[in-house]
Amino acid sequence: MSIQAPIQPSIPLHKLAAVAGIIIGLVAAPLALPPLAMAQPASAPAAAGTTYDGLPAAQQAALFSRQVASGELARLSDAQVLAVFQALQPDTLLKWARAEMNRYPEYEYWMSRQERLNGQWQEQPAKMQIRYRHAPRQLYAKWLPGGAQAGQEILYDETRRKDEMYGHLGGMLGFTSMWIALDGSLARSQSNHTVRDLGFQYVLSMLERDARSLRAAGLSEKYAKAEIVQEQGVRMVALTWDLPAGAPQYYAKKVQLMLDLKHPYIRVETAWDADGNMVEKIVFDKLVRKTFEAAVFEPANPEYRF
C-alpha cells in the first residue's frame, strides 16, 4: 500500500511494487477508477502451472522472475496466468518481490492516494511525485496540481532528524517551511501514515510482517483469491488476502494488490477494514530507477520551493 497517507512504466513502484516492487509498494488520473473486470473461470493448459509444481519457493521465484523479464508471463492467456499464480508456494511472491526491490535502492515514482481519515473518505486523491533512497532513508515529495494539497513539499533525511521532516504543508502557513514532527497533528491531519511509510519497501515489509504473523498462527499466508482485471486499460492480476483481523494486528482486514504482468511492481494497493469500508487506495503511475546526487535531498535545491 504513503505520507499522511496510478503507472505507465518508464523503466521496466510504499506501501514495490515488486509486490513493492511488487510491493510494496508504493501516483495518472484521479482515483475514480472503473469497476474491476473479473476473469471468467477457465481450465488452464497444464504446462502453465505444472512448470512450477514440486519446486521450492526460491526456485519458483527465480522462474517467475525469468518469465516476467522475458515477457512470457504477459503473453500467457488469462487462464494460464491464473494457473501460474495458483501453483505458487505461499512465500514465492514475497521472495521474488524482495529480490526485485533490492535492485531499486533509489528511484523516483508518481502515485495517487486516497485514505479514510477520522471516518471520512477523501474524495479527491492526492497526486504525488516522490524521490526515494532507502538506505539511509531520504526522500523528497511534492504534491502535484490536480490533486489534494497541491503545491506542498517535504524533505526527509533520517541522517539529520529521524523524527522530523522539513517542508511546507499548506493551510494557514502557506509556503512557510519548517521542521514538522512525523507523528504531529499537522502531518496526521493529511494521512494515517508517516513519511517513512513512503516507498515500495514499506508495502513489502508490511506483507512480510503479515506473512510471519499468519505462519505463527498456523494459517496460510497465501492470497485467498487471484483474478485477472483491467485497470485503466492495463491487464493485471489482482491478489486478495482476507486476514483474521484488521489493524494493528495486521495491515488491514482485507488487502488487494494489482500486479502489472509486464513489469515487476505493484500498480494498485487497496485495503478495507473489518466493516468492509475502504480505508486506502494507492495507485502507482510510474517508476524510474535513479541514482541521486546529494542535492536532491537538500532544501537549498533551486528546483524546490523551500
User: What does the pLDDT look like over 68-104, one tens digit per residue?
Assistant: 999 999 999 999 999 999 999 999 999 999 998 898 9
Q: Is residue 7 part of a domain?
A: no
Secondary structure (H, E, C), 93-157: HHHHHHHHHCCCCEEEEEEEEEEEECCEECCCCEEEEEEEECCCCEEEEEECCCCCCCCCEEEEE
CB contact at 8 A, 2 and 113: yes
Q: Is residue 152 part of a domain?
A: yes
SS3 state of residue 197: helix
Residue 10 is predicted with a pLDDT of 43
Residue 174 is predicted with a pLDDT of 60
Smallest CA-to-CA distance from 288 within 31, 110, 102 is with 110
Calpha distance 1→9 (Å, rounded): 18
User: What does the pLDDT look like over 162-188, one tens digit per residue?
Assistant: 999 999 987 545 678 999 999 888 888
State the amino acid at position 84 in one-letter form: V
Note if the bond before 248 is cis, omega within 30 degrees: yes
**Residue where the block lists cell 536532491:** 296
Q: Is residue 264 part of a domain?
A: yes
Total domains in the chain come to 1
Residue 171 is predicted with a pLDDT of 56
CB contact at 8 A, 23 and 97: yes
Residue 44 is predicted with a pLDDT of 41
Burial of 194 (0-12, 13-18, 19+ CB in 10 A): buried
Calpha distance 59→47 (Å, rounded): 17
Q: Is residue 12 part of a domain?
A: no
Q: Is residue 132 part of a domain?
A: yes
CB contact at 8 A, 15 and 203: yes
In sequence order, the 6+-apart residues with CB closer than 8 A to the CB of 238 are 36, 225, 226, 227, 228, 229, 256, 257, 258, 259, 268
Q: Is residue 41 part of a domain?
A: yes
CATH of the domain at 37: 2.50.20.10
Domain range enclosing 189: 19-297
Q: Is residue 269 part of a domain?
A: yes
Residue 5 is predicted with a pLDDT of 38
Residue 48 is predicted with a pLDDT of 66
Residue 6 is predicted with a pLDDT of 39
Smallest CA-to-CA distance from 104 within 264, 259, 282, 295 is with 264
Residue 242 is predicted with a pLDDT of 96
Cα Rg for the chain, rounded, in angstroms?
A: 19
SS3 state of residue 272: strand
The Cβ of residue 278 has, within 10 Å, a number of other Cβ atoms equal to: 15
Residue 28 is predicted with a pLDDT of 33
Q: What is the mean pLDDT of each run of 10 residues along the chain (306 residues)?
A: 39 36 33 35 53 94 94 94 95 93 93 94 95 96 94 95 91 74 87 92 93 95 95 92 95 96 87 96 93 95 93
Q: Is residue 9 part of a domain?
A: no
